[in-house]
Amino acid sequence: MLRARALPATLWRALVGSPLETQRLQYEKLTKVKGLAVFGADPLSSNAYATEEILRVLVLMGSAGVALTIPVSLAIVGLLVVVAVSYYQTIHAYPSGGGAYVVARENLGMGPALVAAAALLVDYVLTVAVSTSAAVAAITSAFPTLFRFRVELAVATVALVTVVNLRGVRESGTVFSIPTYFYIFTFGGMLALGLWSALTGELPPAPPSPDPGAAVHPFSLFLVLRAFASGSTALTGIEAVSNGVQEFYPPQARNASRVLVGMVVMLGTFFLSVSYLAHHLGITPTETETVVSQIARRVLGDSWMYYLVQLGTALILFLAANTAYAGFPRLASILARDRYLPRQLANLGDRLVFANGILVLGAAAVLLILLFHADTHSLIPLYMIGVFVTFTVSQAGMVRRWLVQRPPAWKLRMPVSAIGAVVTAAVTVVVAVAKFAEGAWITLAVMPLLVSFMKAIHRHYEDLKQQLSLERAKLPRPFRAHKVIVPVNNVHRGILEALRYAKAVSDDVTAVYVEIEPGSREEIERKWERWVPDIPLVVLPSPYRSVVGPILLYLDQVQREAGPDTALTVVLPEFVPRKWWHHLLHNQTALMLKFALLFRQRRLRRYKVLADVPYYLTR
């Protein structure tokens, strides 16, 4: 039977696998086939809700608004092409990985770079939350009885995807390839059948609306722009390939760019097909069934093929989160190396992945799912701001790069990036205005806070670097004396071990006892005289029954009397129970004293050394 303390490590190994040697890092790469599965899941999965988001706005203007479904979708595909061409250029300009943060840092400075980084981090977290919530909607459309378990399903999915990614890039690529291509064939097959049936007349168009005056709002350009902004969620995730160029086998840039092209062609084709069929069939959004589910029912009926399409849609939405798991940890590691995030995020785990970043992403996504009850439509307004801020900053950075470096054909490349930057900036403004009251204000508030947080971390690391620098440093004078203080609360084996260590460190040892209960002094002095008569014991009164306060005052007095040339060590005896829950049965006096001494030492710069002497209980 495994010992209790070995269970967490054993469970961890069962989940993520055995450690991998660092030299195997070069083999943990993706082929183009697996790369499309890993990086294409997010953008391809947006077909499950992008058209629906357009229709949710256009139906407010009645039949006149719904008639604009195809033109709005074509405009979004045009924007998709512009952004994709710009990222194609970025991949070849930055073969080591050209995410918005890297591009902005090198071309626009740290201010815009941190804005892009904050937008990307928020975007990645929302990718996981939105994708899993939409997947749950696909499941509950086919099986309405599961609707009340939507939050639990979403949380379980995030946990599963987190564990798979902790196992390593190559394994996650294998795991995600089969469901991604299952979705491509089932969803694409349904769309192809629907288009063929519509063109041959087997799938008749919807009859004209019998009530043309049913509009909730009059026709307006603002609502059309709002529909365009809502449907632009179809573009989410296409930047991930430029962030993860190094995940591919060499030649990385060529393989990554080919994956990007294939992904964009497939995404645009699927998106336009869904929009056309939704318009042709007169489908409008409902609260109980998604638009994609309604299309699949009309095309396939309630046959087993319909359920295959819903299964494929749910799977691709589940797996879309993997794009964020590929991008978030890598971006966090870059920011950590630049000293804008905690250093722990820069460390490769024992499975050659950035495990800390993966865990942070999973936890943040679960929190959002719980807060918004796995509701896709509540999360999407938060989603769009970060997406288009990232696009805008990245393409603006590429414009400056072309203008400054002027590589071959820069006059052809620069206008593409410039057009993309202007258009995505305009979309960002539209989304911010149109979706502000629906939740976009949260993202607009979080991003500046995140930037301030990263700047604060950077200031800390810079201050630490200066304070630890050897520049103009002098060798410290040796101490003339060494005094050891041992706080005690009784006389037992743990105390005797601590005193043994103290005497090995210095001949000048003093024990300190705080008298909380009247009359306890005589008892401890009697035991002290029997067991350790060679070490003086100082008894401190405590009229207010505090242990930490009197010890701190005594240490201040000792430090003043000893002077700066005397080293002072505080030895803390501490017994360690065998079982974790036994800690709850004891006062944590040593722990409280340790924290008090550390913070007091930081403020007063007095005590030199704190030493824990644990005594391990055997039962």
Whether residue 493 is contained in a domain is answered as yes
Is residue 229 very low, low, confident or very high in pLDDT (cuts 50, 70, 90)? confident
Q: Which residue has the higher pLDDT, 474 or 296?
A: 296
The DSSP letter of residue 248 is B
Clarify whether residues 399 and 485 are in a common domain: no
Q: What residues form DSSP beta bridges with 576? A: 616
Residue 430: pLDDT band with limits 50, 70, 90? confident
Q: Are residues 456 and 524 in the same domain?
A: no
In a domain, 499, yes or no: yes
Single out the residue of 344, 328, 348, 324 nearest to residue 336, CA to CA. Answer: 344
Residue 1: pLDDT band with limits 50, 70, 90: very low
Domain-embedded: residue 2: no
Q: Is the pLDDT of residue 190 over 80?
A: yes
pLDDT single digits (tens) 5-28: 444 555 555 556 555 544 555 545
Greatest CA span in the chain, whole angstroms?
A: 104
Three-state DSSP state, 208: coil
In tens, the pLDDT along 23-52 reads 555 545 777 888 888 787 778 888 888 888
State yes or no: pLDDT of 367 exceeds 50.
yes
Stretch 165-186: mean pLDDT, rounded? 74
**Are residues 369 and 443 both part of a single domain?**
yes
Answer with the one of 401, 433, 461 that is the final residue of a domain: 461
Task: Please count the structural domains in the chain.
Answer: 2
Question: CATH code at 601?
Answer: 3.40.50.620
For 170, the token pair is: 């190559």
Query: Once rounded to an integer, what is the mean pLDDT over residues 522-529?
Result: 87
pLDDT at 213 over 50: no
Question: For the domain that residue 241 is a member of, what is the CATH number?
Answer: 1.20.1740.10
Among 385, 386, 461, 469, CA closest to 430:
385
The pLDDT assigned to 557 comes to 86
Q: Evaluate whether residue 43 is within a structural domain.
A: yes
> Rounded to the nearest 5°, which phi and psi values hold at 613?
-120, 95
Q: What is the DSSP string of 300-334?
A: HTTSHHHHHHHHHHHHHHHHHHHHHHHHHHHHHHH
Query: What order do you get walking across the sheet with 481-488 strand by strand?
Result: 537-541, 508-515, 481-488, 566-576, 609-616
One domain for residues 118 and 75:
yes
Q: What share of the chain is helix, strand, coil (3-state, %, to 5)?
A: 70, 5, 20
Domain final position from 417, 433, 461: 461
Ranges 19-28, 262-271, 580-589, most confident: 262-271
Q: How far apart are CA 110 and CA 112, in angstroms?
A: 6
Phi-psi region of 612 (alpha: psi -120 to 50; beta: other; left: phi over 0): beta
Q: Last residue of a domain, which of 432, 461, 490?
A: 461
**Which residues, at least 6 apart from 29, have a Cβ–Cβ distance to it below 8 Å?**
169, 170, 247, 248, 249
Q: What percent of the chain has pLDDT over 90?
A: 12
Of the two residues 18 and 515, the one the predictor is more confident about is: 515
Residue 217 confidence (pLDDT): 65
Whole-number mean pLDDT of the chain?
81
Distance CA 39, CA 319 (A): 10
Q: At what angle do helices 304-337 and 32-45 cross, to 10 degrees?
A: 100
> Mean per-residue pLDDT for 573-593?
73
Buried b (16+ CB within 10 A) or exposed e, 424-441: bbbbbebbbebbeeebbe
CA atoms 309, 310, 315, 316: torsion sign: positive
Give yes or no for residue 208 having a pLDDT over 70: no
Q: Note whether residue 302 is domain-resident.
A: yes
Query: 374: domain range?
Result: 32-461
- Can you give the pLDDT at residue 192? 93
In this model, does residue 209 exceed pLDDT 80? no
Helix (H) or strand (E) holding 558: helix 548-562
**Alpha-carbon span 53 to 50, nearest angstrom:** 5
pLDDT over 50 at 210, yes or no: no
CB-based burial, 396-407: b 16+ in 10 Å, e otherwise: bbbbbbbeeeee
The pLDDT assigned to 512 comes to: 92
Query: Average pLDDT of 548-556?
Result: 86
Mean pLDDT of 333-362: 82
- 336-350 tens-digit pLDDT: 888 899 888 887 765
CA distance 91 to 241: 8
Query: Do 451 and 115 touch, CB atoms closer than 8 A?
Result: yes
Q: What is the pLDDT of residue 606?
A: 56
Neighbours of 543 (CB within 10 A): 8
Name the amino acid, one letter, at 612. D
Indicate the DSSP class of residue 30: B
3-state secondary structure of 523: helix
**Residue 80 placed within a domain:** yes
Q: What is the pTM of this model?
A: 0.74
pLDDT band of 274, cuts 50, 70, 90: very high
Per-residue pLDDT, 233: 82
Mean pLDDT of 54-68: 84
- Binned at pLDDT 50, 70 and 90, residue 3 comes out as very low
Least confident span in 101-110, 465-474, 609-618 = 465-474
